[in-house]
Structure 1
């Protein structure tokens, strides 16, 4: 988890390209985190961005 959105975005994009799967950048409380898209099931997070290694990143809202 990170408190820096810019750093979290860079890590999310790198993770998507390494794993070659879509990943989700989310906010929980006041921290940012990244998970593969197929593992996001928690209702207590706010999804901010989706990073797809084939299509790039885009805001969910």
Structure 2
């Protein structure tokens, strides 16, 4: 999915689940979204982290 869509989905998911969610880069110039605890890929692929508790 495009970066802008991934960012919107990540923030919405983080607020809904009240957990940290990450946006990460995948092949083909696309991006994915996952809970931080479920992401088991290379940490250098993480583009942004969304923490609903951060101010």
TM-score, with normalisation over the residues of structure 2?
Answer: 0.86
Where in structure 2 are there 5+ consecutive unaligned residues?
none
Alignment of 1:34-49 (within 5 A): 34-43=33-42, 46-49=45-48
| Aligned-residue CA RMSD (Å) | 1.8
| More helix per residue | 2
Within the candidate set 20, 23, 30, 1:22 is matched to 20
Separation (CA, whole Å) in 2 of partners of 1:5 and 1:33: 8
Higher relative contact order (CA 8 A, sep 6+): 2
Where in structure 1 are there 5+ consecutive unaligned residues?
57-61
Stretches (4+) displaced over 4 A: none
